[in-house]
Amino acid sequence: MVGILRRLEEAGHETWCVGGAIRDALLGDPQQDMDLATSARPEEVRQLFRRTIAVGIEHGTVGVFDELGVLHEVTTFRRDVTTDGRHAEVEFGLSLEEDLARRDLTINAIAYHPLHRTWRDPFGGRDDLHHGLVRAVGDPASRFREDRLRILRAIRFAARLNFRIDAATWSAACAQASDTANLSAERVRDEWSKSIRTTRSLDRLVGQWLESGVAAVWLPELLPSASWQRSGGPDVVLITALVCSACGPVMRRFRGSNAEIRRAEAIDRGPARPQSGAPVEVRRWMAVVGEATSDLVTLATWRGLREDGWIREVAGVTARGEATSRGELAVNGDDLRTAGVAAGPAIGRALEQLLDAVLEEPALNTREQLLALARSVV
Ligand code: ATP
Ligand code: MG
Residue 193, CA distances (Å) to 132, 173, 209, 256, 257 in order: 23, 20, 13, 11, 14
Instruction: Give 231 Cα–ligand 2 centroid separation in angstroms.
Output: 21
Residues 246-270, mean pLDDT to the nearest whole number:
97
- Lowest mean pLDDT of 92-96, 121-125, 248-252, 283-287, name the range: 92-96
Atom 11, ligand 1: residue with shortest CA distance: 20
Segment 70-93, tens digit of pLDDT? 999 999 999 877 677 777 666 887
Segment 118-139, tens digit of pLDDT? 999 999 999 999 999 999 999 9
**Contact predicate 172/138, CB 8 Å:** no
Instruction: Give 73 Cα–ligand 2 centroid separation in angstroms.
Output: 9
Q: Which atom of ligand 1 is nearest to the CA of 194?
A: 4
pLDDT at site 82 = 67
Three-state SS at 164: strand
pLDDT at site 306 = 63
Pocket of ligand 1 (CB under 6 A): 19-20, 88, 103-104, 108-109, 147, 149-150
pLDDT at site 140 = 98
Segment 185-209, tens digit of pLDDT? 999 999 999 999 999 999 999 999 9
Atom 7, ligand 1: residue with shortest CA distance: 20
Within 8 A by CB and 6+ apart from 324, the residues are 283, 286, 287, 293, 317, 359
Average pLDDT, the chain: 93
SS3 content of the chain, % helix, strand, coil (to 5): 55, 10, 35
CB atoms within 10 A of CB 275: 11
- Lowest mean pLDDT of 29-33, 105-109, 227-231, 269-273, name the range: 227-231
Whether the predicted pLDDT of 378 surpasses 70 = no
pLDDT at site 22 = 96
362 — phi, psi (to 5°)? -60, -30
Q: Which atom of ligand 1 is nearest to the CA of 19?
A: 18
- Lowest mean pLDDT of 73-82, 134-143, 221-230, 369-378, name the range: 221-230
Residue 114, CA distances (Å) to 7, 100, 206, 241 in order: 13, 17, 38, 45
- The domains found in the chain, sorted by start residue, are 1-128 (3.30.460.10), 270-320 (no CATH), 326-377 (no CATH)
Atom 28, ligand 1: residue with shortest CA distance: 104
Pocket test for ligand 1, best of 81, 108, 186 (most atoms within 8 A of CB): 108
Instruction: Give 340 Cα–ligand 1 centroid separation in angstroms.
Output: 67
Residue 74's nearest CA partner among 16, 123, 127 is 16
**Contact predicate 92/77, CB 8 Å:** yes
More confident residue, 14 or 303: 14
Residue 36's nearest CA partner among 198, 68, 47, 55 is 55
**Nearest-ligand number for the alpha carbon of 23:** 1
pLDDT at site 229 = 67
Handedness of CA 275, 281, 284, 289 (dihedral sign): positive
Q: Which atom of ligand 1 is nearest to the CA of 198?
A: 4
Helix (H) or strand (E) holding 301: helix 293-302
Atom 30, ligand 1: residue with shortest CA distance: 103
Residues 163-169, mean pLDDT to the nearest whole number:
98
For the chain, give the percent of residues with pLDDT over 70. 97
Handedness of CA 21, 23, 25, 29 (dihedral sign): negative
**Nearest-ligand number for the alpha carbon of 103:** 1
d(CA 244, CA 253): 13
pLDDT at site 88 = 67
Residue 222, CA distances (Å) to 2, 88, 242, 246 in order: 45, 28, 9, 8
Q: One-letter amino acid identity for 148?
A: R
Atom 16, ligand 1: residue with shortest CA distance: 19
pLDDT at site 181 = 97
Exposure on the CB side of residue 201, measured as CA atoms within 13 A: 12
Q: Which atom of ligand 1 is nearest to the CA of 31?
A: 3
Buried-exposed string 306-333: b where 16+ CB fall within 10 A, e elsewhere: eebebbebbebbeeeebbbebeebbbee
Return the C-alpha torsion angle 301, 304, 310, 313, nearest 10.
Answer: 50
Residue 356, CA distances (Å) to 284, 294, 306, 314 in order: 8, 21, 28, 17
Pocket test for ligand 1, best of 80, 83, 104, 190 (most atoms within 8 A of CB): 104
pLDDT at site 377 = 72
pLDDT at site 87 = 73
Instruction: Give 310 Cα–ligand 1 centroid separation in angstroms.
Output: 45
- Is residue 291 very low, low, confident or very high in pLDDT (cuts 50, 70, 90)? very high
Whether the predicted pLDDT of 31 surpasses 90 = no
Residue 350, CA distances (Å) to 203, 248, 288 in order: 49, 32, 17
Whether the predicted pLDDT of 149 surpasses 70 = yes
Atom 24, ligand 1: residue with shortest CA distance: 104
